[in-house]
Amino acid sequence: KAGVTQTPRYLIKTRGQQVTLSCSPISGHRSVSWYQQTPGQGLQFLFEYFSETQRNKGNFPGRFSGRQFSNSRSEMNVSTLELGDSALYLCASSESGRELRNEQFFGPGTRLTVL
Amino acid sequence: QQPVQSPQAVILREGEDAVINCSSSKALYSVHWYRQKHGEAPVFLMILLKGGEQKGHEKISASFNEKKQQSSLYLTASQLSYSGTYFCGTVSGGSNYKLTFGKGTLLTVNP
């Protein structure tokens, strides 16, 4: 099976702009989670989607949003970018039901730089 | 709340052993362990579930003390390939099954 893919791999934006990142999960996986990774904070959970519904949400401001399509592909959007949004954004897919009993498969990430 | 990992960093010589600890202030449903090499995506190592079930790679050893809300990852006879950052993630369960990761432990194995 093909792994998790994320596009684009690198992105440079300026403050105030908005950005959309895309994630294609492993075929058959219905759960997609998004994480923000920064050197100081490690991996921080943004949200999880399952069957087109947001199942869980982390502690990020409303500028961070996401959605999932019927084919399980997911997008996340960040509006009004701030310098602090510069990070590696990772998406992970899983066969997991609600209780997260299965491993997550991570994509290579999108490196977002905000100038 | 983010679990706390210790140590933050450890340096080993090939063949030595290491233990990485993960502690939470909340009652836990499960603990997940991942390893991330520099410039790569995190890779799954193990899940330890409340009640004793474990899923993971055969060569990986870990424990989960449900009463103390703690988990430990045991790396024995380390190899150069073990180098990377190890993350523990915790799920508290209840009405909210979300995976919260610690800040990571950087493991360096030298020849």
pLDDT of residue A37: 96
- For the cut 90, the answer to whether the pLDDT of residue A76 exceeds it is yes
pLDDT of residue B95: 66
CA–CA separation, A100 and B92 (whole Å): 11
**Strand ranges in chain B using DSSP code E only, listed in sequence order:** 4-6, 9-13, 18-23, 30-36, 43-49, 54-56, 61-65, 70-75, 84-91, 100-101, 105-110
pLDDT of residue A70: 95
Cβ–Cβ contact B91 with A under 8 A: yes
pLDDT of residue B57: 77
pLDDT of residue A2: 82
Tokens representing A32 are 């997609």
Cβ–Cβ contact B87 with A under 8 A: yes
CA–CA separation, B62 and B22 (whole Å): 11
Report how far Cα B50 is from the mean position of its chain's Cα atoms: 15
CB contact under 8 A, A42 and B43: no
CA–CA separation, A50 and A64 (whole Å): 17
A47-62: per-residue pLDDT in tens?
999 999 998 899 999 9
Q: In the 8-state DSSP scheme, what is residue B93?
A: B
Is residue B107 within 8 A of residue B16, CB to CB? The reply is no
A7-41: per-residue pLDDT in tens?
999 999 999 999 999 999 999 999 999 999 998 78
Rounded to 5°, the CA angle B70-B33-B5 comes to 50
CB contact under 8 A, B98 and A104: no
B59-102: per-residue pLDDT in tens?
789 999 999 999 999 999 999 999 999 999 999 877 677 889 99
Cβ–Cβ contact B40 with A under 8 A: yes
Report how far Cα B67 is from the mean position of its chain's Cα atoms: 18
